[in-house]
Amino acid sequence: MDLRLGVGGPPTSAEKAAVDAVLGDPESSWLGGERTAAGGHIARGGHSARAQRHLLLPALQAVQASSGWVTPGALDYVCTRLTIPPAEAYGVAAFYSLLRTEPAATTVVHVCDDIACRCQGAEALCAEMEKRFGPPSEPGDTRAVSWVRSPCLGRCEQGSAALIQRAGQSPEMLSIAPASVAKIEHALGNGNGSKPLLDPTSPVRTDPAHRRLLRQVDVANPGSLSSYRAHGGYQMLRRALDMGPQGIIREIKEANLLGRGGAAFPTGLKWESVANNPVRPHYFICNADESEPGTFKDRVLIERDPFGVVEALTIAGYATGAERGYIYIRGEYPEAAERLCEAIEQARTQGLLGASIMGSEFHFDIELHRGAGAYIAGEETALFNSIEGHRPEPRNKPPFPTQAGLFAKPTGVNNVETLANVLEILRIGGAAFAELGTPTSTGTRLFCVSGCVERPGLYELEFGATLGELIAMAGGVSGGRPLQTVLLGGAAGSFVGPAALGTPLTFESVRAIGATLGSGVVLVLDDTIDVTDILRRIAQFFRDESCGQCVPCRVGTVRQEELLARMISRRPLGSPERELALLMDIGGVMRDASICGLGQTAAAAVQSAVSLGLIGGPSDGDRVAQQ
Amino acid sequence: MSVTFVAAPKRLLTMTVDGQTIKVPEGTTLLQACQQRGIDTPTLCYLENLTPVNVCRVCVVEVEGSRTLVPACSRKAEDGMVVKSDSDRVRASRKGVLELLASSVDLSLASPEVHQWMERYGAEPDRFGPSSAPPPGNPRDRARPGEHVPADGLAAATVSQPAKLDNDTYIRDYSRCILCYKCVEACGVDAQNTFAIAVAGRGFEARISTEFDVPLPDSACVYCGNCIGVCPTGALMFKSEFDMRNAGTWDESKQTITTTICPYCGVGCNLELHVQDNSIVKVTSPLDHDITRGHLCVKGRFGYQFVQHRSDGSEAQQ
């Protein structure tokens, strides 16, 4: 590879130091270091240089944190270090919304205006932000402090959320929830008061006696491995090592565990298929790129029980014969990432990661990868590309990850909540686990309840409870107002009406009414909420988050947003019936012909709203007009 | 003694395409299986000399047991597979994909087949409303991922933008770009290994770009023109063709194609000289040529001026 480098000029010394902190010092002048007499006679490059591409995103993140944007000089230096063509590295940098590729403010406040926060006055917060900080940032905005609207920040139960991204000598990422302009100013260092930025006890509503997945939450100290072990932590890994990989997989299959990330694939089958694959090495990934609007369960699990995640991933790695595990956590969860980082470090020190774990012959270590602002990176094959240092564009399946996944090797991928179930299965046994819930939906499920309810928060329920029972547990609709609709499963899920209150929240019953549990989102909307506004935000979300690779999703999400805008402003092209047919056609081609789940579900919520008559019906105009 | 190399025999798979049972060798794609049955399958991002990326989705077919449609260009045939290439779902998706593309991209210079497919599937790109006027400047090149100005829906967004003219050999008119990735592949491992361009941005603002959108002379481009050779929509075009089209003098009916061998080195690449009014106006190479596979270098592609140098010192009329 003959790279054209040097056009971008040299990096600043701060940028060089930031990149070197990730990649180590350059070994020779070939890699951007000092020129020495010996260095000129040694050719570096080839496969070993190119095999470091997985360090591209961490290096770009370091540059972003140092300069506030990925400068040409720094990009050039990263490319020199890693033997990557600058055009490709730029293509990667320009994909992620937490990276900038032109001069930008050193401090950016991301304010969530997504579906759950909208129900709690996100627009009012944005208006206040505008009053205090001026209009939201646009390309080329280099004010010292700027702000942008953000997709869901995963703090839906707290009503509002912001994320501060500060670059410079002491870069930091800070979450604020519930968010207010006063708190944001305080965090920026120019306000008064000393309110905590985060409510450390964000609501976990299930009472401790009924917690299984949330067993350790608020019991063990999330910052201390000894506290975790004192409360029974790592006993399941011990048990797993005694059972052996086949024994573990047998239990998981007997438990009939289905994946909790949204696709509900049988976990035991997935593990077995990785374990039995003769190609080596195997990898196992914990998918913590939770970005589905309205979802916060994985964040709570990680922030309050990080060792549980590490232990479960270690067990998964052991069962599937993996030598390395990865946790891919979304870039908007700095506090959770910090917790995981500490947990992995402590586990290493106590011999629970690394060589000969617990004195066995099992060697396993975990790498933590942080995303940089891309919903699509949570799609498993896009996630592989993100870790590998490519643009997180989904791959076509087949081949499936269990055949050719990360670095084209057999790979298991499970959501955080799915892995949490593994600990419970080992604790009580697969057969006992299968007794929980219903025959096809076994165990318990975490529900992210937000919107217009008295007690939003995380609820752990045995499968089988109805939607109405869950909402009643959450104190019912706020102020006793009438329920308008519930969004089940997040932006990629569907709306259901009051008629669905009696539906048990199981995979099969929810599927039977044409909906999905998705990532466990239950967003409750009362009669004061303008559903068209929520729909429009969903359409904007998919247009923003489409990777742009395939035509149905790249253009279909744009056309869907345009069409909704026309329906809402009641300026149809031709008759409303024609518009409705067009909306259904756009949805059909996205669902049938898109490469991945994003495009295939991008129309689901909108289409469910149409069939419920929430939009597009004859009464729609009157109803909106009345509000 | 002459030696004939024989590949290992391939297992034959039995499959059904549109109700007909056929046998195909293992490794056959569904596109090839359809071709074997004489079924014309539309393709845009597929080219036989490039790795399939299956992003345009116009070749989708229905496979029994598959929840969604599958891309024929890259999906391999399996024993017992039942494929429908002309079901209602397939026709609806192909129509939809062509409509979405044609409503957002200028397809006027795409090959005649594209227009035939649009007619065959009844594509009506106007269904989405009038095209929006191109915004001033080219904000697409500076678009930030995950942000856009909310749509009012009164006009359909397009990728319309001014052509990029930054060198004497070829132009880049991305208002015609369907993002088929072919140029990126040809610039990369499938042909040139130069990596001057890549896809940047995301979603509707995804675009082919050099690093930081620098002009080609500041990029790694070596002007092999292989990206022009694979571009299906005229987004990448010889400067000579672009200028003649602008002047209204481009006339393919007056052009002849002369096949010859490049005189520059010993590789022996086939050249096709497109000649109009006794002047070379563009150079291509046949895709099925076993040396070039359609790809050339800067000399073969653009180094033809000497041919037009007359003994009296004048240049042929451009």
Each residue of B65-116: pLDDT tens digit? 999 999 999 999 999 999 999 999 999 999 999 999 999 999 999 999 999 9
* Domain ranges for chain A: 13-93, 107-188, 209-435, 444-526, 531-626
Q: What is the pLDDT of residue A9?
A: 87
Residue A622: band (very low, low, confident or very high) from pLDDT cuts 50, 70, 90:
very low
Q: Partners of B284 in the beta sheet? A: B272
| Contact: A90, B148; criterion CB under 8 Å | no
Closest to A490 in 3D by CA, of A395, A608, A404, A403: A608
pLDDT tens for B260-288 read 999 999 999 999 999 999 999 999 999 99
Which chain A residues have a beta carbon less than 8 Å from that of B197?
Answer: 87
- Pairing assessment for the beta strands B236-238 and B170-172 based on DSSP bridges: antiparallel
Q: Which residues pair with A485 in a beta bridge?
A: A525
Q: What is the DSSP string of A560-601?
A: HHHHHHHHHHT--SS-HHHHHHHHHHHHHHHHHH-SSHHHHH
Mean pLDDT along residues A148-173: 95
Indicate the pLDDT class of residue B182, thresholds 50, 70 and 90: very high
Identify all chain A residues contacting B186, using CB atoms and an 8 Å cutoff.
none
For position B311, what pLDDT does the model report?
Answer: 73
Contacts of A566 in chain B (CB under 8 A): 152-154
Percent of chain A at pLDDT exceeding 90: 87
pLDDT at A375: 98
pLDDT score recorded for residue B6: 72
> For chain B, what percent of residues have pLDDT higher than 70?
97
Q: What is the pLDDT of residue B314?
A: 65
Domain A209-435 CATH assignment equals 3.40.630.30? no
Q: What is the pLDDT of residue B313?
A: 65
pLDDT above 90 (res B171): yes
Helical axes A334-349 vs A306-320, angle rounded to 10°: 60
CA-CA-CA-CA torsion sign (A573, A578, A582, A584): positive
CB-closest option in A87, A548, A595 to B203: A548
Scanning every residue of chain A, which has its alpha carbon at the shortest distance from the alpha carbon of B45?
Answer: A550
Among A2-11, A68-77, B159-168, name the one with the lowest average pLDDT: A2-11
Residue A129's pLDDT band (cuts 50, 70, 90): very high
Judging contacts by C-beta atoms under 8 Å, the chain A residues touching residue B71 are: 396
* Secondary structure element (H or E) that encloses residue B60, with its range: strand B60-63
- The pLDDT value given to residue B7: 73
Q: How many CA atoms lie within 13 A of A284 on its CB side?
A: 31
Name A550's Cβ contacts closer than 8 Å, sequence gap at least 6: A593, A594, A595, A599, B54, B55, B56, B57
Whether residue A593 and residue B69 make contact (CB cut-off 8 A), yes or no, is yes
State the amino acid at position B316 in one-letter form.
A
Mean pLDDT of B180-185: 97
- pLDDT greater than 50 at residue A619: no
| Closest CB from B93, B127, B148 relative to A544 | B148
Distance of residue B76 Cα from the nearest chain A Cα, in angstroms: 9
| CA-based nearest distance B148→chain A, Å | 7
Three-state DSSP class for residue B195 = coil
Q: Residue A178 above 70 pLDDT? A: yes
A chain contacts of residue B100, beta-carbon cutoff 8 Å: 551-552, 555-556, 559, 586, 589
| Token output for A548 | 């742009």
The architecture in CATH of the region A444-526 reads: Roll (3.10)
The residue among A592, A596, A600 with the most chain B CBs within 10 A of its CB, best to mutate, is: A592
**Cβ contact (<8 Å) for A593 and B145?**
no
CB atoms within 10 A of CB B168: 11
Architecture of domain A107-188 in this structure:
3-Layer(aba) Sandwich (3.40)
| Beta carbons of A393 and B53 less than 8 angstroms apart | no
Residue A45, helix vs strand vs coil: coil
Check residue A624 and give its pLDDT.
42
β-pair partners for A284: A325, A412
Burial class (CB in 10 A: 0-12, 13-18, 19+), B279: middle
Closest residue of A to B192, CA-based?
Answer: A1
What is residue B10's predicted lDDT score, i.e. its pLDDT?
83
Contact in structure between A67 and A15 (CB atoms under 8 Å) = yes
d(CA B234, CA B173): 8
Tell how strand B82-84 and strand B12-17 pair up: parallel
Give the pLDDT band (50/70/90) at residue A621: very low
Percent of chain A with pLDDT over 70: 95
Reduce the DSSP state of residue B298 to 3 states and report it. Answer: helix
Q: Taking 70 as the threshold, does the pLDDT of residue B119 lie above it?
A: yes
Structure tokens at B241: 């063709």
Closest chain A residue to the Cα of B222, Cα to Cα: A4
Single-letter code of the amino acid located at B188: G
Decide if A87 and B143 are in contact by the 8 Å CB cutoff. no
| Centroid of chain to Cα A566 | 31
**Chains A, B: CB contacts under 8 A, how many?**
219
Residues of B in contact with A551 (CB under 8 A): 55-58, 97, 100-101, 178-179
Q: What's the rounded mean pLDDT across residues A544-561?
A: 98
Contact A543 B148 (CB under 8 A): yes
Q: What mean pLDDT comes out for the span A516-523?
A: 96
Taking the CA of residue A525 and the nearest CA in chain B, the distance in Å comes to: 23
At A39-88, the pLDDT tens digits run 666 666 677 777 899 999 999 999 999 999 999 999 999 999 999 999 99
Go through the domains of chain B in sequence order and give each one's CATH number.
Answer: 8-132 (3.10.20.740), 170-308 (2.20.25.90)
Condensed to tens digits (0 to 9), the pLDDT of residues B234-261 reads 999 999 999 999 999 999 999 999 999 9
Q: Give A201's pLDDT tier (boundaries 50, 70, 90).
A: low
ipTM: 0.95
Average pLDDT, chain A: 93
CB A255 within 8 A of CB A433: yes
Pick the CATH number of A531-626 from 3.20.20.60, 3.40.50.1860, 1.20.1730.10, 1.20.1440.230: 1.20.1440.230
pLDDT digits (tens, 9 = 90+) for A448-505: 999 999 999 999 999 999 999 999 999 999 999 999 999 999 999 999 999 999 999 9
pLDDT surpasses 50 at B195? yes
- Mark yes or no for CB contact A374/B69 under 8 Å: no
* Gap between the Cα atoms of A589 and A612, Å rounded: 21
Q: Does the structure show a pLDDT above 70 at A38? A: no
